[in-house]
Amino acid sequence: MSIHGAGQGRAGELSGLEPLEIVFRCPLRQCTGRHGSEVAVARPVCSISRRELIRERLV
């Protein structure tokens, strides 16, 4: 499989693409969620619903 832009730029880096940002969002959309850098535990939970936050990548 080939990705457009692969091999351009420094080794191991895709040219023109930003690094993926990990966020955790509330499954019920009741709280604001957290950025990956703010999460200190493996399975963060919503402070309102007490349900586990969903891990996603922002592109």
pLDDT at 52: 92
Note the pLDDT of residue 8: 46
Per-residue pLDDT at 46 exceeds 80: yes
Q: What's residue 30's pLDDT?
A: 86
Tokens of 49: 């619903």
Band of pLDDT at residue 57, cut at 50, 70 and 90: confident
**pTM of the predicted protein model:** 0.54
Note the pLDDT tens digit of each residue in 1-43.
444 444 444 455 556 667 788 899 998 888 888 888 888 888 8
Report the candidate in 58, 24, 19 with the shortest Cα–Cα distance to residue 39: 24
Residue 4 exposure: Cα atoms within 13 Å on the Cβ side = 1
- Token couple for 3: 């990705």
The answer to whether 35 and 44 are in contact (CB under 8 A) is no
